[in-house]
Amino acid sequence: MNVTAPDLVRFKSEGRRFVLLTAYDFPTAQIFDEAGAHVLLVGDTLSIFALGQPTTLPVTMDQMIHHCQAVARGARQALVVGDLPFGTYQVSIDEAVHNAARFFKEGGARAVKLEGPLFEHIEAFTNCGMPTFGHLGLTPQSVHAFGGNKVQARTEERVKRLVADAKCLEEAGAVAVVLEAVPSEAGRRVTEALGIPTIGVGGGPHCDAHGMIASDLLALSGGPYPKFAKSYVDAREQLLRAARSFIEEVEAGAYPDAAHSYDWSIA
């Protein structure tokens, strides 16, 4: 079935966990979709893991739309979510709505995500028929304000604020809330307080769903990796091995051989 935004809320009510993975291109989207991922996030992390930037901040709206189009073509069942990049929604609500709508009109997304407690923006998006994910805890677009990518909500006061902000996101119409890099207890309290699902990215075991950046899942970046990341295959090592084998065969004259060359019998 095609996963929809209302399905995610239903999953929570049924106690059914679901999975979010990032994807930035067509073949990765195809593979993750075939594997059964419920949500494919075209994250602004493509700035780091696809474009080589040091933070998520430099990626542009046009770049996000370009990659979202590729992911949408590869996803047959998963809900494709476009991540609003820095500077495209920390603006007037009208301009933010315009930018969010591009993900639906041009990018092929069926939901969008933004960071922080921007309740009026989420309400406006919702009123325009655009399902929206919230994102609390560590919000990487605020890396300079945080002084780095650090675990958030580590005091009782900040946990209470996190719960309050999450409730306000739900009241504004958010369909889910990403909780990134917060203690497990904070994740539990937010999850229990909401009727919409929480998606943990380092949010602890009590969240309704869990997400992973593709480069962490596949060990593509070579590290270092955040504590919550778990690599299920060393794809970087496998790619290195394959490329080195090809190079060795070419240098030795072993490739191409007859089996990989055309002869006169081929029209």
Coil, strand or helix at 211 = strand
The Cα angle at residue 97 between residues 94 and 98, in degrees rounded to 5: 90
State the burial class of residue 235 (Cβ atoms within 10 Å of its Cβ: 0-12, 13-18, 19+). Answer: middle
Q: Per the residue annotation, which of 180, 192, 237, 251 is the catalytic one? A: 180
Catalytic, 180? Answer yes
Euclidean distance between CA atoms 167 and 161, whole angstroms: 10
Euclidean distance between CA atoms 30 and 27, whole angstroms: 5
Q: How far apart are the first and last CA of the chain?
A: 43
Q: Which of 1, 54, 50 is nearest to 22 (CA)?
A: 50
Helix 119-127 to helix 156-172 angle (10° resolution) is 20
Residues noted as catalytic: 180
